[in-house]
Chain A
Amino acid sequence: MSGAKDRMRHKKMRNQPSSVTYSSPDWSGSQKRNGGDTPHSGRSFDSSSHMRGGGPSPSDRYHQQGGWMRGRQAGAQAYAQDLPKCLTASSFAKARAAEVNAMLKAVNKTTGSCHVFGALPKHMRRRAMSHNTKRLPCRLREGALKMLEKSQQSAQKGKKELSKNKSRKARRRHGNLLLEFNRRQRKNKWLETHIWHAKRFHMVKRWGYCLGDRPTQKCYRACYRAMSSHCLLQDLSYYCCIELQGPEDLLLRSLSRLTSKETGPTFAASLCLSGRREGSVMLYRPDQYPSQALGPVLFLWRPCTKGSAHRQLWIWAHPTVKQDLLPELKAVCQCSEAVVPSATAAVPVPAPVPTPVPESTQPSPTGQPTSRKRKRTDGNPDGQPAKKIVGDGTRSPTTPVSWRSPVSGIVISDLSMEIVRYRLIGPLSHTVLSETLEPATDCDAESKSKSCAFWWPEHCKNQDNMSLHQQQSDIFQLFKGVYSTAEFPAGTVLGLTVDDPRLTLPRKKDKALPNLQKAEGVDEDRLRDISLRGVPEQCSHSALWEQSVRDNVTDNKISEQELNRMKSQLLVPGSRLSPVPLQGRIPVLLVHQPGKQQGQEMASWGTGWDLLLPKGWGMAFWIPLLYRGVRTGGLQVGLKHSQNKGVAHFPHDYPDCPAGARFQQEQEMDLLEKFKRRPPSKRANYIKHGCLAPFRCPWQQLVEEWEEIVREGGDAGKSPEDTVTGQPTQLTEMLSHPANSSAPRGSFAVLRNRKALKQLSAWCRPTSSKGQRAQRGSQTAALCPASVASLQTAHPSCLVWVRLSLLTKGHPVLHAMVCVPTADDLQQLLKDPHGSGPQEPQHKDHFKSRIKRRKKGHKTPSSAPKNESSDPNKEQGSDSTQSLPMDQGSSPTRCLSPEPSSTPILTVSKEPGIDPTNSASSGENLTIGLWPKPLPSVTSHCSRLTLGWITQGDFSLTAGCGEALGLVSLAGLLQMLLKQPAEQRGLVLLRNPASLQYRFAKINIEA
């Protein structure tokens, strides 16, 4: 600041004359100080300035010695001799002349601001003079122009010049706007509803798409209410569809390498294989089952046509799964040959040429010559109709989207963005659907007889198709008599062909409610049949499976403008457009989504339907759906939906998948950045709260440490620890061997074996408590050390995904710790069931003083024995893990034993600080309140052993208490269950990262 101030002052004073004196040599010191920033040029009036014209004079030398400055000058003693003894007129005149020169300069040049109009007296100054030089008097204009140019140049240097070569009108023209949109989609694609969303949602760029995260309005509860009592709409088009075509047995054989029967039904599940149900399955890398998970996918088989083994399968995967899955699929199916897209995909439009034909055949008043002319001019000039850009217009047409296997004939094609997927969540979503969609009306005989470019008339020619359509629409009519969406069997698929929903758009937005009186006529028996057996197999057929039909429908969509024109020409304004234009028949697929299937309370909460549409029709269905009073949700609502439903949400709860790991990294970065944005005094000190990793979950370390603890438990079997159950030594021996041999270091897996999960869930239930179902686990093996050991050997280094519900108070948040309660805690709970739970003693922050010291003196040497300290550190760490399990029942002060062991780690992390090369990086690592990178033992850091962490937690509006989803270590969970008394089995403690309070929670494992 002072530098800038000096500069300002210097600039201001540079035209001012400074004093001219001769000084004695003993002032030279001060002269240096004063003259430090004085330029040597003849700024000030000095003795040499008047010599400019003439030759060098003796006085020039003095000027060189030390520039003139107000104050004292050196070199005067030399001058004394040079001074003339008498006064001459010339010297007198010279001195006067020089002074006059200096004064003139000072008077003419303005001080202060460098603006030209500073020279003007105040009463002559005018507004905006610095912008408009013409407001200045003529004599000053030249300088002002110069100044203006200079300032503009410097401004351009700062920011890039905006290229606004086009007028706004030109930019907003439809074609140019589309081009601009395509340009903006190059990195992150837009969904079809993007513009609608962008006006109403906070958008995030994620997974290569621009997605709505949450609405800008406040609607947390409203969304929940919509999900639980009406209907909530979500655009899931970013889910990628991969299509597999080929012989059934080959497909199943190759796909079976990616799945395992142990995790539940696979691709070959008979209900799904027939095409009647949509299935979901967990995929792994080929033949790697328990480890290397890829992620969950939904899949849908096309119902088989008679006498053909050729099948079609859609796999719906999250975009992050897709990027891992597609190479694997290609490898498994040996599809190496990329099919040139122009050959397969019928993207080049077949329609534009015959467009005028149907229009002329239509008896509706559309056939006006003017409109046809306009349409032609619209579509034809550059041979590319504007609607071509619908869908993924950014993908280059030459990138291959399908691959063929030369051996088996399997074809894999990437259909992402080809099919729009909307999800309706809520018990009344079927009502919304039945109001929005209307089964396609038959086309009249006249158009049937002619050959036509549209698919529907052709489709109608086949009698089988028509009867199928009749069946499907009959079933769809039954929807009106259904009370709740939950009545349908999970995963039901219904194919349908519907009319353009824009034609039946209601005048006003209204809430769709079931009208059961009106639906009295619905056959009760058929209704029951549907709810028991689902939709008959043939009704799952849909023309949506055909690529050609999809393209035809997409290309021939009537534009909004055209439709409005047709509507405006109706005789009775506001009446329905009839007959429906031939283009307006769309094949759709309705896929039922099951609700909450596990757990006792709120069964089948969050059930709904998925609506699959051909691309390009997204907005045409979106708006009519909204007119039925649905609410829309973004990604956050999806998260809450799965949380309330008690199912794992994809990237969050799958830390063993590559996508999940990536997600966790991103999340850590985000949270850390958010944390660092706070002022240091307002941050939570996580070290003092005993929270090692508030922003990420070191799963690998957790799993390894628990295996270590189990193994060490065998050696320390005589310790006072096993007072609760009396842990038998033979168990630990059994455990220790497999743990030594088969634990593959560097990978953990999430337990998804259905059998094991069932067993665990039976064990976790307390045998008699709270009046819930008692003695359910009798059919499975009883909880005993032997069975535990066998379970654990079968699944080494595993995590278990659990749902936790808090017993009393508490609001779990992200990355809260799941801890093992001590025997004392459980006793306390028995005595006082409404107590608030134990407290964690506050930890000491050893880093704070170090950081402060670092701040004071940058290179304070400390920790001299740094090289030795790194090795003992590890030993001490293992010591602590040895000693800690025995501390379980003892006082917390003893349990804090790892604290001293953590000090050597401090020195290790401090070590690079002494090294001058690394000091910067280590300075970044050390943040107040956060543990630096090499974490000490995560399990035994606090007074209660840590079992795992929470990945999602919130107050659940369905359950009315805090609920959390998280993962715990299998080994730790089994150890805990063994030690707990039967009536209190499955109780754990939860503690938020920024809190010292433990809360009791109950583990539910759902299988």
Chain B
Amino acid sequence: MVRFKSRYLLCELCVSERNSLQLLEERVIYHAVRAAVNRAHGDYGSAVCNIGFSVKYVNAHTGVVLLRCRKGHYRLIWSALPFITGIESRGQRVQCFLNCLHVGGTIRTCQKFLVRYSTRQLHRMLLHCTSEAERREVRKAVMSFSLKKRREDGEEEEEEEEEDDGCGAGVDT
């Protein structure tokens, strides 16, 4: 297949105060990364990284960020990431740093890695739980993405699909 090959950087945004995570936005991350690249690599780096650079996914709950850039120059961005010390959002400056978890060739691999990573984290958390309520909560969370649950989800999904198809056909005709 002939396509532009990309690299995806799966990062975790670490903040000192959890509340500030709510300020997380794609735009904010985008500008922060660009500024960092500009500072670290100058105009050349900034221009090279500008092509095909985008923020694919941001999760304000967990602070997971997925960046996309062209394969040829992903090292420029990668190397600039440690220099991000804070992000500016809605007039507030939040101290933070980006922790790169994974560098992948497709979104799919990044997603797979994220699943593995989060699961491992939760399992580890289960061991360190202090109170019984906490333990229960975490166990519930872990169970929520167990196999059985997934299958149910899948079935629901398929039903929806059928409905959708029916609607689509109706619209077509």
Contacts and interface: CB of A to CB of B under 8 A. Distances in A.
A624 B165 CA distance: 64
B18 A19 contact: no
Contacts of B112: 103, 107
B22 A76 contact: yes
A104 B154 CA distance: 11
Given A20-B61, A96-B122, A71 B26 contact: yes
Nearest to B18: A87
Interface stretch (A77-85, A575-583, A728-736): A77-85
A111 to B, nearest CB: 8
A107 B61 contact: no
A38 interface: no
B145 A19 contact: no
Contacts of A679: none
Interface string A787-808: 0000000000000000000000
A296 B14 CA distance: 102
A982 interface: no
B19 A85 contact: yes
Interface stretch (A21-29, A266-274, A484-492): A21-29
Nearest to B19: A83
A7 B125 CA distance: 41
Contacts of B165: 150
Interface stretch (B34-42, B44-52, B77-85, B133-141): B133-141
A598 interface: no
Mostly, the B contact residues are: helix
Interface string B112-123: 101100110110
- Please indicate which of the listed interface residues A16, A17, A24, A100 has the most CB atoms of chain B within 10 Å of its own CB: A100
Contacts of A343: none
Interface string A882-897: 0000000000000000
B60 A97 contact: no
Residue with the greatest number of chain A CB neighbours at <10 A, chosen from B140, B141, B153: B141
A886 B151 CA distance: 95
Contacts of B90: 24
Interface in B50-78: 55, 57-62, 64
B81 to A, nearest CB: 19
A83 B57 contact: no
Contacts of B3: none
Interface residues of A, number: 47
Nearest to A15: B157
Contacts of A72: 25
Given A99-B64, A104-B145, A105-B153, A90 B115 contact: no
B26 A100 contact: no
A109 B119 CA distance: 19
A171 interface: no
Contacts of B57: 17-19, 70
Interface string B83-127: 000000010000000000000000110011011001101100100
Contact of A50 (B107, B129, B141): B141
Nearest to B161: A114
Contacts of B23: 22
B22 A100 contact: no
Residue from B22, B60, B140 with most neighbouring chain A CB atoms (10 Å): B60
Contact of B137 (A16, A18, A94, A100): A94
B22 A22 contact: yes
A16 B25 CA distance: 18
Given A19-B59, A21-B26, A108-B150, A96 B141 contact: yes
Given A85-B19, A89-B125, A23 B25 contact: yes
11 contacts: A20-B60, A21-B25, A22-B23, A24-B90, A76-B22, A88-B134, A94-B137, A96-B121, A99-B59, A103-B114, A109-B157
Given A79-B22, A97-B118, 6 more contacts: A21-B24, A89-B129, A98-B144, A100-B118, A103-B114, A105-B153
Closest 4 CB pairs of A and B: A90-B137, A97-B141, A95-B61, A93-B141
